[in-house]
């Protein structure tokens, strides 16, 4: 059976919960759209996240890689259009802070997602879950993982589609942080399921 590597992240910064962990746990082992879901959780660490994700790609040899990240403050599920060759922003969980740092010294400025992001958005909306294409994955760990996986696929010419989806906060997280929109974990999970189902069509 075809395999889909679904990754989430551990909690980071002022987010004591990362709902991507729960979504990955809920979906792993299931078959969706003809894909067996293999779940993995990544650290929030500039030195480790992409390295570990690539290790999982090498081990699992998936047909598709979808990485999930929390974007607390967004109110829709947002497949990312592009990853850029830049690391910047807040410190990671090891306290490392980077500024204007390329991910690959010799690498293209960006990579477009190779996932069917428009079909993902439409599938989620059709099921009643708000979604939109996002044109920036930021410059933190999520962008780093998306860029690094797409770079590997390009360098090695692998027959693999990959990309990233940012999700809003869950209610559980919003109870611990004020002023952010939130979704139920069940709805977040069903929106991601609707997007994965599209791959089988």
The catalytic site residues sit at: 80, 142, 166
Residue of the chain from 23, 141, 169, 194 that contacts ligand PCA (CB under 6 A): 141
| Residues 6 or more apart whose Cβ sits within 8 Å of residue 57 | 5, 65, 149, 152, 160
Q: How far is the CB of 21 from ligand PCA (least distance, A)?
A: 9
111, two tokens: 């990579």
Distance in Å, CB of 138 to ligand PCA, minimum? 5
Contact between 35 and ligand PCA (CB under 6 A)? Answer: no
**Using alpha carbons only, what angle is made at residue 44 by residues 40 and 46, rounded to the nearest 5 degrees?**
115
Q: Which residues contact 90 (CB under 8 A, 6 or more apart)?
A: 13, 97, 140
Encoded tokens for 167? 């999700």
Tokens linked to 68: 């999930």
C-beta of residue 120 within 8 angstroms of C-beta of residue 166 = no
Instruction: Decide: 85 and 109 in contact? Cβ < 8 Å.
Output: yes
What's the closest the beta carbon of residue 109 comes to ligand PCA, in angstroms? Answer: 19
- Closest CB 67 distance from ligand PCA, rounded Å: 9
71 binds ligand PCA (CB under 6 A): yes
Check residue 20 for interaction with ligand PCA (CB under 6 A): yes
Among positions 35, 46, 111, 140, the unique one binding ligand PCA when judged by CB under 6 A:
140
The only residue of 50, 117, 142, 165 in contact with ligand PCA, by rule CB under 6 A? 142
Kindly state whether residue 18 participates in binding ligand PCA, applying the rule CB under 6 A: yes
**Judged by CB under 6 A, which of 4, 26, 44, 169 binds ligand PCA?**
44
Using CB under 6 A, list all residues that contact ligand PCA. Answer: 9, 12, 18, 20, 44, 69-71, 138, 140-142
């Amino acid at each position: 059976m075809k395999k889909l590597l679904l990754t989430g992240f551990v909690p980071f910064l002022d987010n004591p919960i990362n709902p991507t962990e729960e979504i990955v746990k809920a979906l792993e082992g299931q078959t969706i759209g003809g894909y067996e879901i293999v779940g993995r959780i990544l650290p929030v660490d500039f030195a480790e996240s992409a390295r570990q994700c690539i290790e999982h790609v090498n081990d699992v040899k998936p047909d598709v890689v979808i990485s999930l990240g929390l974007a607390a403050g967004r109110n829709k599920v947002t497949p990312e259009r592009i990853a850029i060759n830049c690391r910047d922003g807040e410190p990671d969980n090891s306290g490392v802070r980077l500024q204007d740092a390329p991910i690959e010294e010799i690498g293209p400025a960006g990579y477009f997602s190779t996932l069917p992001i428009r079909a993902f958005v439409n599938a989620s909306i059709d099921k009643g879950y708000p979604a939109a294409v996002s044109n920036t994955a930021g410059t933190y760990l999520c962008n780093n993982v998306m860029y690094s996986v797409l770079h590997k696929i390009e360098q090695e010419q692998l027959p693999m589609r990959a990309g990233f989806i940012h999700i809003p906060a869950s209610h559980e997280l919003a109870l611990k942080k004020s002023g952010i929109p939130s979704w139920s974990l069940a709805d977040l999970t069903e929106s991601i399921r609707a997007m994965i189902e599209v791959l089988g069509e």
